[in-house]
Chains A and B, each alone.
Chain A
Amino acid sequence: MADKRIRVVIADDHDIVRRSISALLKREDDLEVVGTAANGREAVRLAEETHPDVIILDVVMPELDGIRAAGEIHKSNSSTSIIILSMHYSTALVQQARESGASGYVLKQEATSNLIPAVRAAHEGRLSL
């Protein structure tokens, strides 16, 4: 049986951050970046088009924020695992993330060490919030 890579979509409003996360993920053999989005609307659309295994959503995005995008994606793509990326930790935000269907919550400042394990955990159906 051929090994399938985990297909990931990245959504963040800063190009430089999208590139940075892409570079991070591309270093891993089992992960594949299948698309990037610059706002929540694009993220929802991309999720519907590409059906990724995991989608990483920045909380702060124009058009539609990460939490609401998560809600929409979770409703229409239940097989896509969602990771919320944020600059701040707040129990309220984590709660909202969980309620919107996210299985992971990662702080941007800790992304280099925590994002990849979170992506893998989410894909395996494990929670990391």
Chain B
Amino acid sequence: MIRVVVAEDHHLVRQGICALLAQSGEVEVVGEAATGQEAVELAQTHNPDVVVLDLSMPRLSGDQAAERILAMNPAPQVIILSVHDDTTMVQQLIRRGVKGYLLKDAVSEELLLAIRAASQGQMFLSPTISSSVMTMLLSPPDEQATSAADLLTPREREVLHLVAEGHTNTAIAGILDISVKTVEKHRANVMSKLEVNDLASLIQEAIKQGLILLDE
């Protein structure tokens, strides 16, 4: 049985996924998470073979959770679910070692295929996304643009994500367990790296560069 952790904040979707996997007879759902944070914790405690991560989740987004999970030793394989077919994001994720990327509206048919593939270390991408990834793989390295995400440090991206969610600096300090001064410093760094001066421009620029995604 392939042991899987499912992380998805939309209850109905998560339930549907778990039911689908349970029916397959090949997959055992060993944990369910509703935030990126929970997903990382479950990955650490349960040692699954595969983690299915929704890209947009509260607290810690799917891509940030993916990064942490892939850094574990041994690391489970990661499959991303999203409503967005943002090719920049897909490319970044694949470069980091994500094995699957599925669009949520087609997830049913493809999910099992993706999990089977991932458990064997193979990739599975929703057909719609495959072609853009092929293009990326075929272009020489120096033609590939430096991704915006490489601009910010992981901690800066976390702060950006929480700022975009509307949390105050004090709240962010509490969530990340750092001082308010440190939050302010990260926030200032993010703004200067993205070359913006106010919150609205920050959000706009972050969305434009694929650093944060609008949830459906």
Contact = CB atoms under 8 A, between A and B. Distances in A.
A109 B11 CA distance: 6
B12 A17 contact: yes
A16 B102 CA distance: 12
A20 B13 contact: yes
Given A19-B20, A60-B216, A14 B15 contact: no
A13 interface: yes
A2 to B, nearest CB: 30
A20 B105 contact: no
Interface of B is mostly: helix
Interface residues of B, number: 15
A108 B12 contact: yes
A24 B16 CA distance: 9
Interface string B1-43: 0000000001111011101100000000000000000000000
A23 B13 CA distance: 12
Nearest to B215: A87
B83 to A, nearest CB: 8
B204 interface: no
Nearest to B104: A14
A16 B19 CA distance: 10
A108 B13 CA distance: 10
Contacts of A112: 11-12, 15
B12 A21 contact: yes
B11 A108 contact: yes
B16 A111 contact: no
Nearest to A23: B19
B106 A17 contact: no
Interface string A1-39: 000000000000111110111011000000000000000
Contacts of B16: 16-17, 19-20, 23
21 contacts: A14-B107, A15-B106, A16-B13, A16-B17, A16-B20, A16-B104, A16-B108, A17-B10, A17-B13, A17-B16, A19-B20, A19-B108, A20-B16, A20-B19, A23-B15, A60-B216, A87-B10, A87-B216, A111-B11, A112-B12, A112-B15
Q: Which 5 A-B pairs have CB atoms at the shortest separation, nearest pair first?
A: A20-B16, A16-B16, A20-B12, A15-B108, A20-B15
Interface of B: 10-13, 15-17, 19-20, 104-108, 216
Interface of A: 13-17, 19-21, 23-24, 60, 87, 108-109, 111-112
